[in-house]
Each structure stands twice: as C-alpha cells, then as structure tokens.
Amino acid sequence: MYSSLPKARILKQSGTSVLILSLFLAIVVLAGKPILAAVPDDFNVRSFGALGDGKTDDTAAFQKALDAAGEAGGGVVYAPRGNYFFASHLNIPKAVTLAGIWQSVPAHNGIRNPGLPKPTDDGTTFLVTEGAGKEDSPPFITLNTNSTLKGVVLYYPEQNVDDIPKPYPWAIAMRGKNPAVLAVEMLNPYNGIDASRNERHLIRDVHGQPIRRGILVDHIYDIGRIENVHFNPWWSMKPKLFQWQMENGEAFIFGKSDWQYVYNTFCFGYKVGYKFIRSRSGQCNGNFLGIGADDCHTALVVEHCAPYGLLITNGEFVSFHGPDPTMIEIEKTNTGSIRFVNCAFWGPCNQIAKIAGTGTVGFSDCTFVQWGGKDRSRPAIQAKSGTVLIRGCEFRQDRPHILLQKDVSRAIIAENIFTGSERIINKSEGNVKMGLNVSD
C-alpha cells in the first residue's frame, strides 16, 4: 500500500508505527505487574526518636534506625550534630554505615570539664556509659560484615581526668568480613578497638587517647589494614591518670594476623607502644611502615612473631621514662624474624635494643642517638642470644655500641659508622663476622 508514496515518507510512517507499538507494549507489560516502591537507603536517627540532648537515652532509637537499614538490605544511618547519650550498646547490621557529620577525624584537645565538655557541642558525639568496672561486658558498638562506623566522637563522660581510670569494655568490636572504622575520634575509652575475629578490617583516620589498650588485632586469617591512627594524650595529662597510663597502657597489640598492613601510626605515653604476642590463634607477620612511638617505657616489644617476619620500615622510636627506658625489646620467647630498616631511635634511654630468643633481629640503615643510661656505660644494642644483623647503621655517640653475649649464635656487623672508636664487645661463642665498619 506504500507503493505510491515517496521512500522517505514510508520510512517516517514506519518509524512512527514502531514507536507507538513499543509504547503500547510497555503499557501492557506494566499493567500486568506491580510497580516497586523505592527502597530508602538513608535513615536519620532523629526520625526514629533520638534527641541528642546529652541526657535522654538514645540507645533504642539508634538501634531501631540501624535495624531498619539492615532490613532494607543496607544503607546509611545518619546522626546529625548532637550529644547522644547511651545507657546500653549498639549492633550495626550487615552492610549498614553509622555516620556522623565528620568527614575527617576531629581534634578535641584540652578538655578540662568533668561533665559534658564544650568541644563535643560542634559535632556528632556519643556519650558512652554502659559497662563501668566490667571489661568483659559487651562492647559499645559491634560492627559486622561490610558495616562501618564513620565520622563520630566517642566520649566517656564518667571517666575522671585525674584519677585511676575506670575499666570499661571495648568501645568498638570488629567482626565478620570487611568491617571499617573511619574518621573516628576515640577521646578517652579505657579499651579502644577490638579488631579480632574478622577478615580484611580497615581502621583509618582514628585519633584519641585510649587509656589501657588502643587496638587489639588477633585471629585474622586475611589481610587487615590500619592507617593514619594516632594516640596522643589530648584528653588528659593530669598526673594521676597519665602516670597510670604510662605504667599500664598498651597502644597497639598484635596477636595472630596474616600479612597485617600498618601505615602512618603513632602513640605517645604508654608502657608499650607496639606489642607482638602469641595468642591461642598464633602470631603476627606483616608490613609496618612509618610507625612511631614517643615517650613509651618500651617503644616496641616482641614476645612472639611469625617466622615469615615483621618488616618495620621508616619507624621513629623514643623512650626516656620508666624503670628501664628501652626502645626495642625482643623477649626470650621469640623464634621469628624481625627487620628494622631506615628507622631512627632517640631520647635519653638506657639502651636502644635488648635482644633475646632464638629468632633473627636485623637493623639496616638505622640511626641511633642518646643511649647509655645515667652512667653512659650501657651499649646501644645488647644481644643475649639468637641471630643479629647490624648493617649500614649510624651510631651517633661515643659510648659502648654493641654487646654480643655468649649465646648469640650468629652475627654480622658490617658497614656501620661509629662516633668515636669502634666499641664492640664480642663474647659470643657462635659465628660472628665483622668488617668494613668506619669510626672517627
């Protein structure tokens, strides 16, 4: 019937017919099926009854919002600016993020008031009260698979700035797969983050002053990541509390972890800065880059590490207080391998390193400053046993440099620079090689 029409007109009419037919078919299909309502993926705690007035218990309102997000298949539960009081604890379901206003971790140093401090008025602050005196109580926040805590401040208002601290359970527990803590200020928890029994945890941009324990890593069989975590005494340096922290606090504790990655971390004012232990699950191996510990009785302690090794690069360690200020202590229980590369050690300590055990400890391209104790007679590195590698390091004082005791099985001391004369005491009955060292 189109034979007498121009070709262009035929094509135009055909295209119009196809468009009309397509629209008709779409209407028919939609008429036979219900149109799905949009599922929300963001939830505001205020809509669930949270007040944020610093007095009313907001636990139930928060949990309702979190559960609603979980039932929706995931989403973001948003807590706008306010002081949210909690008499109990929270569970963040799978694929849910609990978020405050902060996109980068804030700073609230110099708090003086024992009540609600003024610095908490500018953001999203959680006032935590449950579990005083009971370390084994449920953690305040539990993260699960793919859940996240982000952009909030955790504050314990009943903790006294100048007294022996009250024990509390963990502020945050990370469980499941891929839990994350991002841009969170842990202002003054007794115990900070329990990052155990999970896979591929991510802890990034976390600051504050955990008093007893900062982060515990254990029972990790897939790579965990800790980045830009800084623990400073911003909340309190009052004598009684801070002295207790210096005598009891442990900033970073590592049990079983396969290939833990730690980058740009720092702690100040603890008994131990970094501690490596053997748990029921095993020991740690991993890559530690740009880590620091300042004014800790012992900056880094290795009780145990995995045979695959601890790789510690670009570290900075300072110790000058305590009964025996020491930068590095490798205990007699260790059988693994530890390497310190391009690290700096300073502060008027008694010694840089005390080495025991049957493992291997190496220092390469490191700088050593200010050791010897009050009488300046202690060697910088004191090896009691095991295998020792000291290569390409700089000893910047004219004091005893290295002591190898009789149970040192093997040692290489080479290509180092010594201030003053070379002062190496070799009592080893093992195989020791020394050479190419340079002294004044």
**Nearest-angstrom CA–CA distance, 293 and 269:** 8
Q: How many domains does the chain have?
A: 2
Q: Has residue 238 been placed in a domain?
A: yes
Element (H, E) at 68: helix 59-71
**Is residue 18 in some structural domain?**
no
In this structure, are 298 and 436 located in the same domain? Answer: yes
- For the record, the structure tokens of 14 come out as 């055909």
In a domain, 6, yes or no: no
The answer on 225 and 365 residing in a single domain is: no
Q: Are residues 312 and 388 in the same domain?
A: yes
Query: Of 221, 248, 275, which residue sits at a domain end?
Result: 248
Closest residue by Cα to residue 115 from 102, 127, 132, 130:
127
- Confirm whether 227 is domain-assigned: yes
**What pTM was estimated for this model as a whole?**
0.89
Domain assignment present for residue 17? The answer is: no
pLDDT at 121: 65
**Residues 230, 332: one domain?**
no
Q: Which of 54, 164, 84, 159 is nearest to 114 (CA)?
A: 159
Please give the chain's pLDDT, 440 residues, in tens: 334 444 443 334 444 444 444 444 444 344 444 434 455 678 999 999 999 999 999 999 999 999 999 999 999 999 999 999 999 999 999 999 999 999 999 988 654 444 444 545 689 999 999 999 999 999 999 999 999 999 999 999 999 999 999 999 999 999 999 999 999 999 999 999 999 999 999 999 999 999 999 999 999 999 999 999 999 998 999 999 999 999 999 999 999 999 999 999 999 999 999 999 999 999 999 999 999 999 999 999 999 999 999 999 999 999 999 999 999 999 999 999 999 999 999 999 999 999 999 999 999 999 999 999 888 999 999 999 999 999 999 999 999 999 999 999 999 999 999 999 999 999 999 999 999 999 98
Say what the pLDDT of residue 28 is. Answer: 39
Same domain (yes/no): 346, 401: yes
The DSSP result for 383-405, as a single string, is: EEEEEEEEES-EE-SSS--EEEE
80 & 197 share domain: yes
**Within its chain, how far is the Cα of 17 from the centroid?**
65
- Domain membership of residue 244 as a residue range: 42-248
User: What is the rounded distance in angstroms from the CA atom of residue 405 to the CA atom of residue 23?
Assistant: 89
Residues 201 and 231 occupy one common structural domain: yes
**Residues 156 and 286 grouped into a single domain:** no
In a domain, 16, yes or no: no
Answer whether residue 5 is part of any domain.
Answer: no
Residue 2 lies in a domain: no
Q: Same domain, yes or no, for 103 and 50?
A: yes
- Pairwise CA distance, residues 365 & 340, whole Å: 8
- Bridge partners of 193, per DSSP, are 172, 215
Say yes or no: 204 and 331 in one domain. Answer: no
Do 265 and 195 lie in a common domain? no
Rounded distance between C-alpha atoms, residue 267 and residue 211, angstroms: 11
Q: Which of 248, 279, 301 is the last residue of a domain?
A: 248
| pLDDT reported for residue 27 | 40
CA distance 136 to 440: 57
Neighbour count for residue 29 (Cβ, 10 Å): 9
Do 273 and 184 fall into the same domain? no
pLDDT of residue 118: 52
